Amino acid sequence: MKREERFVERLSRHHDELRWLYMELYDNGDMFAELCERMREFAVNRDADLVKMDGEREQDPKWFRGNDMLGMMLYIDNFAGNLKGVKAKLPYLSSCNVNCIHLMPFLESPKGRSDGGYAVADFRRIQPELGTMGDLKDLARACHKKGINLCMDFVMNHTSEDHAWAKKAREGDGEYMSRYFFYDNPSIPQEYDRTVPQVFPTTAPGNFTYLDKMGYYVMTTFYPYQWDLNYRNPRVFNEMMYNFLYLANQGMDIIRIDAVPYIWKELGTQCRNLPQVHTIVRMMRMICEIVCPSVLLLGEVVMEPEKVVPYFGTVEKPECHMLYNVTTMATTWHSVATRDVRLLKKQMDIVNGLPKDYLFLNYLRCHDDIGWGLDYATLEGYGMHEVEHKRFLNAYFTGKHAGSVSRGELYNDDPVTQDARFCGTTASMCGVERALSEQDETALSAAITQDLMLHAYMLTQSGIPMLYSGDEVGQLNDPSYKEDPAKREDSRYLHRGRFQWDLAAKHTEKGTLQERVFSGLARLEQIRKSREVFQSDAAVYTYDVKDNAILCILRENDKERFIGIFNFSDEAKTAWMEEPGTYENLITGDQVELKNPVIQGHDFVWVSKKK
């Protein structure tokens, strides 16, 4: 079939619904016609290799749901200097079993006002020191040859104040001012502030910024230099979709839609998760399926579970292909600090009860802070009260609590609400940093055991596991950001340090920290991808083993029964359980019986039995 015909066929599948939603939001037939025409151009101009992939993936819609998927997120400069450097390091990434790379923001963004690249000044230009669009395309092609998928961010809620639109708006050009939220007096901003919570209460208080010279207030939900786009304006939606398709056509496999719950604003609301957001995400999904059906949408929805799940849409009207398993991630660290898995078990039961079509991205930590979005109603029942509990967790992870081995820093410590989130690499949170500084070999072994246990537990979950670059070799916090005036105020840079290739190279030297973490993890990844029981469609449930420190997870299909037992305490514990027959310990290869097994402090077992 010719490209034009294929486009017409794909458009016809979605045209009525797309038009309906577009008109409901914008009531503008001319702009809709323009959108369709530009979609056609992007579709026919897609590179031949991508067109081929579109066709193949359309035939195999489950292509991204396999147990072999393993992601890693990294900042290009920290990892390999520039895009060409990343290409040169693909063999290392393959040796980590990684087949999906999330390149953290790399589009043009002003130095010192970039929010880690999340303030985009030009959606079609790459930060010059990282390379060119040609380099990106080249990297995508090299990745595809090695069976690696590439993911990038689409920061759609806002632009940098240096974006061409923002510059024209600042000059008073009404056409461009209407692409943002401008007010000539504080009354409406004040009204918004009554209902809209703050994202960065300490580092960027308020939701508006006063532009002195201009005498206007502009909406800035995040940093003052990130101006919120006004999606009530169809020109904003259309142009942003053209940017989206332009980036997709560089060879992206996954596009992470950043901060998506925030994109629609309505006075008198919290300006999060409004129905119009779902209309827009649904339209994006259809636009993808029409122009570039091999591209997946990953929604960044850092919200409580009942707000997250609607971003999958419905079976007939899907929205995102994948979402972050954020509450599970935060609950994991709560369990580490409390050595109590009751809430984690409950959280896992909720996720396991969701339709198998929902695909989550599981992670222990990412480039952002860890916020304490826990189920406090349930915690109350355990005698843990929100304010004191958050204080305990923060004291624990910053190493201030007796018995804590973690080394982390607070993030957005809010003097008003006394609320705070925290930052740290996985290894530093597990005690590796402390053990090394105190030259305590026993503590180091315990820390590595815990680090691997947490990874094993993450890999036991259904969905796509996502590592943060450096965690595979136990990389520590990097406090050097404190010397950089552009980063000093933002403690998230603590766990976004430069990848230390000299230390990482030790992953081949037997007995080093790097080797112990790397090979331990590699073993788990190999097991995961070689057994169908880790497929997303397996039945998964938790098992009560009568000890609050032990989490037990079962995975089952018609051929195999897998059990993972994870000890969140630092002491040896018994999992009170009895399973008939013998199981194979997947790590040691031993045949074992599951009769009240004892699990060493912070350790785990992975066992399985063929049916």
> Cα separation of 416 and 413, whole Å?
9
Interface residue with ligand GLC, options 55, 66, 116, 305 (CB under 6 A): 116
Q: Give the whole-angstrom CA distance, residue 448 versus residue 430.
A: 7
**How do 539-542 and 100-103 pair as beta strands?**
unpaired
Please tell me the number of Cα atoms within 13 Å of 130 on its side-chain side. Answer: 21
Q: Return the number of the residue (451 or 490) whose C-beta is nearest ligand GLC.
A: 490
SS3 (DSSP) at 280 = helix
Q: How far is CA 360 from CA 253, 298, 307, 309, 466, in A?
A: 17, 9, 14, 10, 10
Burial, 472: exposed, middle or buried (Cβ in 10 Å; 0-12, 13-18, 19+)? buried
**Judged by CB, which is closer to ligand GLC: 105, or 431?**
105
Residue 258 engages ligand GLC in binding (rule: CB under 6 A): yes
- For ligand GLC, give the closer residue by CB, 70 or 259: 259
- Please name every residue paired with 50 in a beta bridge, in sequence order, or none if there are none: none
Nearer to ligand GLC, 324 or 518 (CB): 324
As measured in angstroms, the least distance from the Cβ of 155 to ligand GLC is 6
Closer CB to ligand GLC, residue 200 or residue 566? 200
> C-beta of 105: minimal distance to ligand GLC in Å?
8
Of 39, 72, 155, 423, the residue at the interface with ligand GLC (CB under 6 A) is 155
> Minimum distance between the CB of residue 351 and ligand GLC, rounded to whole angstroms?
21
In the residue annotation, 258 being an active-site residue is answered as yes
Residues 163, 102: Cα–Cα separation, whole Å: 24
Q: Give whichever of 259 and 550 is closer to ligand GLC, judged by the CB atom.
A: 259
Residue 166 tokens read as: 């923002």
- Rounded CA separation 433/200 (Å): 28
Residues 6+ apart with CB under 8 A from 322: 64, 254, 296, 297, 298, 299, 359, 360, 361, 463, 464
Residue nearest to ligand GLC (CB): 118
110 binds ligand GLC (CB under 6 A): no
At 85, which helix (H) or strand (E)?
helix 83-88
Active site residue 375: no
Choice among 108, 135, 153, 300 that is catalytic: 300
Q: Segment near ligand GLC (CB under 6 A), from 5-13, 110-118, 439-447, 598-606?
A: 110-118
Closer residue to ligand GLC (CB): 345 or 487: 487
- By rule CB under 6 A, what string of x and - marks binding of each residue 222-251 to ligand GLC? x-----------------------------
Instruction: Give me the least distance between CB of 59 and ligand GLC, in Å please.
Output: 33
Q: To the nearest whole angstrom, how small is the minimum distance from the Cβ of residue 199 to ligand GLC?
A: 7
HEC-encoded secondary structure of 548-576: CCEEEEEEECCCEEEEEEEECCCCCEECC
Q: 101, 62, 57, 61: which is closest to 79 by C-alpha?
A: 101
Contact string (CB under 6 A) for ligand GLC, positions 346-375, x = contact: ---------------------xx-------
Helix or strand (DSSP H, E) at 578: strand 578-585
CB of 339 to ligand GLC, least distance (A): 29
Residues touching ligand GLC, count (CB under 6 A):
10
Contact 332, 364 (CB under 8 A): yes
Region of 112-120, 212-220, 389-397, 520-528 interacting with ligand GLC (CB under 6 A): 112-120
Nearer to ligand GLC, 115 or 162 (CB): 115
Burial class (CB in 10 A: 0-12, 13-18, 19+), 589: exposed
Least distance in angstroms from the C-beta of 382 to ligand GLC: 30
Residues 271-310 close enough to bind ligand GLC by CB under 6 A: 300
Stretch that binds ligand GLC, among 115-123, 319-327, 350-358, 402-410 (CB under 6 A): 115-123
Residue whose pair of structure tokens reads 């469609």 in the numeric block: 537
Q: Is 115 in the site for ligand GLC (CB under 6 A)?
A: yes
CA-to-CA distance for 229 and 191, rounded, in angstroms? 19
Given 70, 151, 257, 259, the residue binding ligand GLC (CB under 6 A): 259
Interface residues for ligand GLC in 560-599 (CB under 6 A)? none
- Residue pair 608/533 in contact (Cβ under 8 Å)? The answer is yes
Residues in the chain: 611
Q: In terms of C-beta density within 10 A (0-12 exposed, 13-18 middle, 19 or more buried), how is residue 290 classed?
A: buried
With beta carbons less than 8 A apart as the criterion, state whether 607 and 528 touch.
no
Phi, psi of 346 (to 5 degrees): -65, -45
Is 532 near ligand GLC (CB under 6 A)? no
Region from 62-70, 113-121, 165-173, 556-564 binding ligand GLC, contact rule CB under 6 A: 113-121
What mask of x and - would describe binding to ligand GLC in positions 118 to 137, judged by CB under 6 A?
x-------------------
Of the residues 258, 369, 451, 471, only one is catalytic, namely 258
Q: Which residue has the tokens 């939001």?
A: 25
Which lies closer to ligand GLC via its Cβ, residue 50 or residue 155?
Answer: 155
CB of 291 vs ligand GLC, minimal distance in Å: 25
Say if strands 296-299 and 409-411 run parallel, antiparallel, or are unpaired.
Answer: unpaired
Residues annotated as part of the active site = 258, 300
Residues forming contacts to ligand GLC in the complex (CB under 6 A) are 115-116, 118, 155, 222, 258-259, 300, 367-368
